[in-house]
Structure formats: C-alpha cells, structure tokens
Amino acid sequence: MFIAFYRASKFAVQNFWRNIWLSIMTVSILILTLLSINVLLTLNVVTDRAIGYVEQRVDVSVYFYETVTEEQLTSVVSYLRTLTQVKDVQVVTADEALVRFQEQHQGDEEILQSLNEYGGNPFGSTLIVQAYNVDDFDFIISALDHPDYQEWIREKDFSNYQDIINSIEESTQRVRWFGYGLSALFLLITALIVFNTVRMGIFIHREEIGIMRLVGASSWFIRSPFLLEAIFYSFLATILAGALLYPILLQVEPKMDAYFGGSTGIIAYFVQNGLWIFGGQFILLSLLNMLATSFAMRRYLKI
C-alpha cells in the first residue's frame, strides 16, 4: 500500500514537472482564488474592528432642562446605575456645559456675543451614558422614558452612532458580496482550469496509461496520480498564497492601526487561526480539484 502510494505520488510529481507551464498556470489561478478568499477574511476582521471601535465610542447623551436640580439629576444617575446594561454614567453639569461651549467657540465672537446677550446659562445638565453592548441602548433609552424622569429630559441623542454602524455594515456587506462573487468566479475558473489540466495530462500520458492498463495496473493506480496531482496543486497554492499574503498584511496592518488608533490585530488573527484558515482552504481546494479531476477522468480516461 505504501509502495503503491509512493509510486502514484512519484507519477503525480512527474506529471507536474512534465507540464510545468500548465502547472504554473493552474497554481497561479488557485493562488488568486485563495488570495480573494483571504482578502474577504481580512475585510471581516477589519469590519469587526471598525464596528468595535465605533461601539466603544457609542454613548447616549441625555440633555436635561435648565430647571432640573442637582438632586433630581442624582436620582436619574442612581437609577441608571442600577441597570445592568449600563457601563458608565458621566455627569456634565450646566456650568461645565457652558464652559465647554465657550471653549469650543472661543474664536467665534458672534456666538459668544449671542451667549452674553442671553444673560445667563442656557444649558441644562447632561448625562453621558455608556452601555456594555450597543444593542442595549434601545433598552436604556426606553428606561429613560420612566414617568418619574420623563418631564425633566429635553432630548436623548443616540441615532447618529447607529447610523455610522449601519453605514459600516452596509458598505462592508456590499464589498463582502462582491468578494463572494469574485471568489465564486475564481473557484469556477479553478475547477475549469484543473479539468483542462487533467484532460491535457491524460492526453500527454495516453501512451503510458495504455501500457499501464496492458501490464495489469489497477484502475485506482492509474487514476490516483491525477488525484494526487490535484492535491499537490492545492497544497502548493495554499503555501504560496500564505507566503504572498503575509508581506501584504505587513504593509496593510500599520496603516489600519493608524486609522483606527489602535491595533486591528489582522496578522495576529491569521497567526492565531492560521491552521484553521489555511487548513480549511487547503481541504476545500483539494476537494474542489479532486471533483474536477474526477469529472475529467470520467470523461477522458478510458480504463
């Protein structure tokens, strides 16, 4: 069994070298397929990080009327802190809000003059509420509709952040669908290229195959080099795709990190999940190639 496997592997490697240009073309297409799949994976990681980045900064600003007293504000803060969904509540008093406003519009004489003309502090206190999970904001907002507090609250501001998240998800979903389409197209081309490579291989080795049949080689032995060659293509393509992807990610990751102001961990993701990612891609590609090879053999290899 081992000897037969060794010899079939030897014939598979011979097939590979004898049609080296065809083999290079086949492996190149497989690499493109794997790269498109890996770009999709990278996009998923970046999207997750982007959404996480936005989510970390998501909060609800609860604006109170100027008439609300400090005790009333404290009671709302206490109530919010009893909610398990709430991570933190930050209080911005009316005076702090005024100072912040003045600082923000320091150079804008017109606005500052309008503020002076108003004659007092037009701002009320504000609570900045952070949640553990972005999905909990709907609950927190509805909790603030409590009849005891409802009449103190002028406005609750959350919708902008949700729009940003929705926008990220929508645009990445579009890119993702494009990636799925591109990967599917590459997979189809891969199957066709492998089919053609095997067809050519059978044609080139027809004399050898004829002699094998004549001298009593089993049909398994005649077929197996072509199947092993398909696995060999997949293995080589997976290794080369990984080798090409790594320097690309080395270039891309610092730019992503700078953009998000922290580590996106793209390379770390590939390192941690490398066995599953590349192992899975190798198995998927091998199965696809063996299927294409089987079709080609059924069509062209008369044993």
Binding site for other proteins (CB under 8 A): 3-4, 7, 207-208, 210-219, 221-222, 303
State the nearest-atom distance from the C-beta of 49 to other proteins, in Å: 54
Q: Classify residue 146 by its DSSP letter.
A: -
Tokens coding 184: 């599917």
State the nearest-atom distance from the C-beta of 273 to other proteins, in Å: 40
Q: Are 191 and 230 in contact (CB under 8 A)?
A: no
Which lies closer to other proteins via its Cβ, residue 216 or residue 261? 216
State the nearest-atom distance from the C-beta of 281 to other proteins, in Å: 33
Which lies closer to other proteins via its Cβ, residue 60 or residue 222? 222
Which lies closer to other proteins via its Cβ, residue 171 or residue 219? 219
State the nearest-atom distance from the C-beta of 227 to other proteins, in Å: 16
Distance (Å, whole) CA 145 – CA 70: 19
Beta-bridge partner residues of 263: none
Q: Which residues contact 127 (CB under 8 A, 6 or more apart)?
A: 61, 62, 64, 73, 76, 77, 80, 89, 90, 91, 92
State the nearest-atom distance from the C-beta of 216 to other proteins, in Å: 4
Which lies closer to other proteins via its Cβ, residue 3 or residue 275? 3
Placement of tokens 């000897």 in the chain? 3
Q: What are the b/e assignments for 42-52, b being 16+ CB within 10 Å? A: beebbbebbbe
Distance (Å, whole) CA 270 – CA 266: 6
End-to-end, the C-alpha distance of the chain in Å comes to 21
Which lies closer to other proteins via its Cβ, residue 46 or residue 212? 212
Which lies closer to other proteins via its Cβ, residue 87 or residue 298? 298
Phi and psi at residue 261, to the nearest 5°: 70, 30
Which lies closer to other proteins via its Cβ, residue 98 or residue 217? 217
Q: Which residues contact 281 (CB under 8 A, 6 or more apart)?
A: 34, 37, 38, 238, 241
State the nearest-atom distance from the C-beta of 26 to other proteins, in Å: 23
Tokens coding 116: 């002076």
State the nearest-atom distance from the C-beta of 209 to other proteins, in Å: 10
Which lies closer to other proteins via its Cβ, residue 20 or residue 215? 215
Q: What are the b/e assignments for 129-149, b being 16+ CB within 10 Å? A: bbbeebebbeebbebbeeeeb
